[in-house]
Chains A and B, each alone.
Chain A
């Protein structure tokens, strides 16, 4: 592809400050590593039991309770630490579900072609076009509260993302001459499958996974905030935010500030990781 100057576009990739994108991904990864570590360590480092009353209610942050106490006298700091568990669990499960299902369906649909493919594509496109959160709300509302139900609700929303990606890659790869050549040389379908399709998709897949988790965490928080998530007293950031809301006019800021910041940090971590990887793995050639 030629650019204006006649110099092949691939040589004209921008040089930013040395590997700025890498910093992005690294920053994200570091944030995440910290959060994940905290999640696993939560039971050991949380100073108090997050679901029982340990102090007078609605205390502002102090040395004893660094993030204050909530309306039921529970330590906010401990709840925030434990809250990570639910957030990460739900998003991990839902992303796993949606990526697996989406990939399988995408492979199947892309490979079969024909009517099957058209039907699947239409269904997937419809789901994709629909507001994700609202779909998740509808499903969660029907299924009832609970960790598994929430994960399923969120998973359904993201299946089309993976479906479209994999299917697109399958269709594209199928057209490639080298696949025909490989087949002519006797390569098995499964070889073609794995070698060409997956190899090509791995960079995009990693990026999408990362960004998906970020989104899933936001959706999970949203669902809990709306009362459709894990039933109390399990610590959950979204749920705590919804409770904290009632106390806002009174100026009890600590109940919402800390859980919210945590959501922001985790989501930011995954987003940075995803964006950074995106820049590294598919350099700005795409933008030219």
Chain B
């Protein structure tokens, strides 16, 4: 399936109307320059050959070189930006799950009560908010008016940790740098809240539906009939079983998370892959754009596989 994705990306980026070379050089550029650029990008070869080149390079991990600023390998640039996106994604996922699963479970448990309707409305409402606008509103309230939290960047520049994971929060913690950790966390809060809260709207509904499904199963009634405590029934019996399909949902929603990350990163000047992509677009750095999109595809595919594996591990019906 990733093959198909890659092919589609190729098609989109090469076959779409609009000549990237002209876009890069401007249409007043001399013909020789245009031709030279075309040649350099391999755009003068027949399409099928371009496609093979593309795949071949990808297999070797070669995403080409950036057209700007010293022609650095794109793969390196992307890997530099990736940890930032990873950190944001993890932060947002935590928020999304905490809020979404909790509200969904409560909703299902108190079906048709005011709580249920309240949470569901909240879910619809919050998902309707444009992510970037929500980010800006939070920036306004917590950054500009209350001045509690920073509104841009990942960390106080002087406190940047050198580290192994690239996740500033983790790295500073590992290095015992408390100030760094605090700064990194402070910077992480608003972006994570932005992305996490908006996307939690979907999770509320997903959790609710799954929980309702599980709650009406016989084994839940049987557990109650044995006199087990309500908490046990709700969490150990219902939620744990509902969690497995929810986990699959996380895999599916990861694409949404990435898409939202692009918007969040641009809003908070968060130097992740989203910012990278947008920046490269403004520079018309065509190979970099392609490289970034390919990387996104690879990420989505990788997460999908990872989720399948975790699912297989968690569900004893598959393990045994």
Contacts and interface: CB of A to CB of B under 8 A. Distances in A.
Chain A directly contacts chain B within the complex, with at least one CB pair under 8 Å: yes
Interface of A: 3-4, 14, 16, 20, 122-123, 125-127, 129-135, 137-139, 141-144, 214, 218, 221-222, 225-228, 238, 241, 244-245, 248-249, 251, 253, 256-257, 259-260, 263-264, 267-268, 271-272, 275, 287-288
Given A129-B255, A138-B12, 19 more contacts: A123-B4, A126-B4, A130-B5, A132-B259, A134-B258, A134-B296, A137-B281, A142-B13, A142-B16, A142-B17, A142-B18, A218-B130, A227-B281, A249-B144, A256-B136, A271-B127, A271-B128, A272-B124, A288-B216
Interface in B277-320: 277-278, 281-282, 289, 293, 296-297, 300, 304
B137 interface: yes
B282 A263 contact: no
Nearest to A15: B112
B20 interface: yes
Interface string B116-151: 010000001101111111001101100111000001
Interface residues of B, number: 59
B128 A214 contact: yes
Nearest to B133: A260
B74 to A, nearest CB: 15
B193 interface: no
B128 A268 contact: yes
Interface in B1-15: 1-2, 4-5, 8-9, 12-13
Contacts of A275: 124
B281 A228 contact: yes
27 contacts: A3-B216, A14-B112, A16-B112, A127-B8, A130-B296, A131-B258, A131-B259, A133-B259, A133-B263, A137-B278, A138-B12, A142-B16, A144-B18, A144-B23, A218-B130, A222-B130, A226-B262, A226-B263, A227-B282, A228-B281, A245-B136, A245-B267, A249-B144, A260-B137, A271-B124, A271-B127, A288-B216
Contact of A251 (B5, B18, B144): B144
Interface of B: 1-2, 4-5, 8-9, 12-13, 16-18, 20, 23, 111-112, 117, 124-125, 127-133, 136-137, 139-140, 143-145, 151, 209, 212-213, 216, 218, 221, 252, 255-256, 258-260, 262-263, 266-267, 277-278, 281-282, 289, 293, 296-297, 300, 304
* Most B-side CB within 10 Å, residue of A20, A129, A139: A129
Nearest to A272: B124
A210 to B, nearest CB: 12
A263 B206 CA distance: 24
B278 A132 contact: no
A225 B132 contact: yes
Nearest to A144: B18
A142 B290 CA distance: 10
Nearest to A222: B263
B128 A264 contact: yes
